[in-house]
A = this chain, B = another copy of it.
Amino acid sequence: MHVLFVYAHPEPKSFTHALLERACKVLDQEDVSFEVTDLYAQNFNPVAGRHDFTSVAQPDYFHYQTEQLHAAQHGTFAPDIVAEQEKVRKADAMVFIFPLWGGGFPAILKGWFDRVLAYGFSYVDGARFERGLFKGRAAMACIPTGGTIERFSPGSTYGSIEQVLWPFTHCKLGYLGLDVAAPYIAYAAPRVGDEGRTQQLADWETYFGDFIRDRLANHPALPPLAPPDTLTSWNSKT
């Protein structure tokens, strides 16, 4: 079993980083291998564009998915995308650790989804949700929020946390065929004091440990996701 963390926070001394460190500790204890994508440390560029590709399918009109499919078929994604896709391919579980900003991802993480989980690589026509290419793999999120749990309750200020995260958990993770575990939310992390955050770290350690031990016990490790050219050949036959 192999885990990929995708982590987005600009401050290495942040509580969000402490959540990442705690999860890494759990994996060390369980002897599970992992990699970390640290988007800020990598200076990841989240803007989709022609720089995503070393090839050009349509020189006169830039249609993103057309270029993504072409790159998947010809092995012509830019090096920064290839490096991330290689990490994704090996992962039995992906764990996303980021603060909720304005009800969603920091832009740097949204761009990782846009650019890395490309058409032709992570999904193709006819292979979505229950037929998604990531079937048998898992995803989980660990998210500190500014708002309290009351504000993320059904019918409350922001709507339920499930409602706020729906485009991410369902339209993106579920879409790929991933088993989407319930996220761990560190509610109101900036407001709960050092003792509160210490407790949140302990709760997250327990929660994540249970998740990992369940995956180890009940879900076989998988071979790497098929490389893009295989996927798109398969796709072209359907």
Contacts and interface: CB of A to CB of B under 8 A. Distances in A.
Contacts of A108: 46-48, 107, 111
Contacts of A102: 113-114, 117, 167, 171-172, 175
Interface in A96-128: 101-108, 110-111, 113-114, 117
Contacts of A114: 101-102, 106-107
Nearest to A105: B110
A114 B102 CA distance: 7
Interface residues of A, number: 43
Contacts of A40: 49
A10 B46 contact: no
A168 B159 CA distance: 12
A10 B159 contact: no
B107 A48 contact: yes
Nearest to A12: B62
Total identical chains = 2
Interface string A1-26: 00000000011011000000000000
Contact of A107 (B46, B146, B159): B46
- Which of A46, A107, A114, A157 has the most CB atoms of chain B within a 10 A radius of its CB? A107
Contact of A167 (B11, B47, B167): B167
A62 B10 contact: yes
A13 B61 contact: yes
A46 B40 CA distance: 12
A11 B170 contact: no
A207 interface: no
7 nearest interchain CB pairs? A103-B171, A107-B111, A103-B167, A46-B107, A107-B110, A11-B62, A110-B110
Given A10-B50, A47-B107, A107-B111, 6 more contacts: A101-B114, A104-B104, A107-B107, A158-B170, A166-B166, A167-B167
